[in-house]
Structure 1
Amino acid sequence: MYEWWNNLMVGFPLLAKGGPVMLFLVFCSALVVAIFLERIWVLLIRTDKIIGNNFYNEFQELIKKNQLEKADFLCEHNGTSLARVLKAGLKHINDDFELIKEALEEAGKRELNGLSRYLALLATLANVSLLLGLLGTVTGMIRLFGVISAQGPGNPGALAGGIAEALLTTAGGLVIAIPTRLIHHYFSARVNKLAGVLEERASEFLSESKKLNQLKPNLEKS
């Protein structure tokens, strides 16, 4: 029954012993590694593309000088998450305070969705890996009982194959699921931290908006 698999995995004896379920576990692990590297790039290496420290300092100076058109232009041509949030507030600078707050909140939610990308998939992969490990245990036991039924208990080599399949897939599922859970937890905490920075800076702008609202600037809504 498993001859095709053993032939396919002749160069990977450990995977061959784990049975076909190991192929799905390898696929899950590859996805986890890809997501891990992508999120490291976005959430750690390119942090300034999210919170925009240099941008925010310049934005604050323009707001203090009431140069709202320049502030809007700066937001328009800046690719950070913070710039998109603040621009949403600037669009409603002549409107009611609650509209400004609502615009900032909506923009913040959109950016948070982008920061949280793939995190749900990570949690799913952790759960699926555990279930695949369990499935491999079941298929290994089925294989074991099939050998016993066909050949009797006197063939230790065949019996060992079923036991190896059951144990290897269980171990493989745990080896993938445990780090994936830790990675998911770390990135979730990282997203919460970055979201806190965005919220803090949006709140600072919101506190200034009452003064800006009274000035009735000539900023055109775009």
Structure 2
Amino acid sequence: MLEMLMAGGFIMIPILLCSIIAFAIILERFWTLRHSKIVPQEVINDVLGKLKNKQLTTRYLKDLREKAPIGRLLSTGLLNAKHGREIMKESIEEEASHVVHDLEQFLTALGTVAAVAPLLGLLGTVIGMIEVFAEIQIAGAGNTQALAGGISKALITTAVGLTVAIPALVAHRYFQRRVDEIVVELEQRSLKLVEVVHGEREVTDEGTGSL
């Protein structure tokens, strides 16, 4: 394996860097975009319980922001509830734009890796083929074994580039879809909170089930 990578030449260095970046981002996003981390039900239940018992304080709402992304939206909405339904809704939507930005963190870099890695591989192949034709000009085309070896080495970079790009592209599409699903759920739960606060929806005795 090491010999194959060395045979690809210097262009293998940026391709390997791309693979490391993609792998790190994929691991980080899998850990960060967990449903239990972004929309923990216990946080929602706690907010509903406090709301039902009229125990919401400014200190509690500030602490709520640090617990989870859904906490940021609920806290922002509750802090602005006194200004009316529309202001409360607008404040949640504004905070949601910041939350979405955080959820999409590193996805642009992952998409860039998916696009750049095969191009780097192609560049390595082109450079390798140029070297092969240069060898033909010097030594002629009689040594077919040497030419075949040179061509195979040139194609290594394309193969490695695609090996990096394909999983990165699949992961990018998956995480983008995951973020979209999370955003829809955050919006739905936040809008239900607006309805609860303004008397359009009831909170159950257990403090659950409304959001």
> Does the pair score TM above 0.5?
yes
Query: Shorter-normalised TM-score: what interval?
Result: 0.7 to 0.9
- Match status 1:26 vs 2:16: yes
Find the partner of 2:91 among 103, 118, 125. 103
Residue aligning to 1:126: 114
Residue aligning to 2:204: none
Unmatched runs of 5 consecutive residues or more in structure 1: 1-10, 213-222
Residue aligning to 2:195: 207
Residue aligning to 1:37: 27
Q: Which moved more, 1:98-107 or 1:88-97?
A: 88-97
* Alpha carbons 2:61, 2:79 under 8 Å: kept: no
- Match status 1:86 vs 2:74: yes
Determine helix, strand or coil for the equivalent of 1:178: helix
- Match status 1:165 vs 2:153: yes
How far apart are the structure 2 equivalents of 1:92 and 1:77?
Answer: 16
- Match status 1:77 vs 2:26: no
* Alpha carbons 1:140, 1:164 under 8 Å: kept: no
- Match status 1:138 vs 2:138: no
* Alpha carbons 2:19, 2:164 under 8 Å: kept: yes
Query: How many percent of aligned residue pairs carry the same amino acid?
Result: 37
How far apart are the structure 2 equivalents of 1:198 and 1:147?
Answer: 61
The C-alpha deviation readout for 1:127-179, integer Å capped at 9, x for no partner, is: 00111111012101111111111111123354234312321111111111111
Q: After TM superposition, give the deviation of residue 61 of structure 1 in Å.
A: 1.8
Structure 1 residues 12 and 140, CA gap change in structure 2 (3 angstroms)? same
How far apart are the structure 2 equivalents of 1:57 and 1:187?
Answer: 27
* Alpha carbons 1:52, 1:83 under 8 Å: kept: no
What is the correspondence of 1:56-71 to structure 2 with a 5 Å cutoff?
Answer: 56-69=44-57
Letter in 2 for 1:126: A
How far apart are the structure 2 equivalents of 1:159 and 1:75?
Answer: 70
Determine helix, strand or coil for the equivalent of 1:164: helix
What is the correspondence of 1:141-160 to structure 2 with a 5 Å cutoff?
Answer: 141-160=129-148
Structure 1 residues 93 and 102, CA gap change in structure 2 (3 angstroms)? same
CA RMSD of aligned residues (A): 1.9
Q: After TM superposition, give the deviation of residue 41 of structure 1 in Å.
A: 1.2
Q: After TM superposition, give the deviation of residue 64 of structure 1 in Å.
A: 2.5
How far apart are the structure 2 equivalents of 1:12 and 1:157?
Answer: 22
Find the partner of 2:5 among 9, 15, 19. 15
Q: After TM superposition, give the deviation of residue 23 of structure 1 in Å.
A: 1.5
Q: After TM superposition, give the deviation of residue 211 of structure 1 in Å.
A: 3.6
Letter in 2 for 1:116: E
Letter in 1 for 2:118: L
How far apart are the structure 1 equivalents of 2:199 and 2:81?
Answer: 10
How far apart are the structure 2 equivalents of 1:176 and 1:169?
Answer: 11
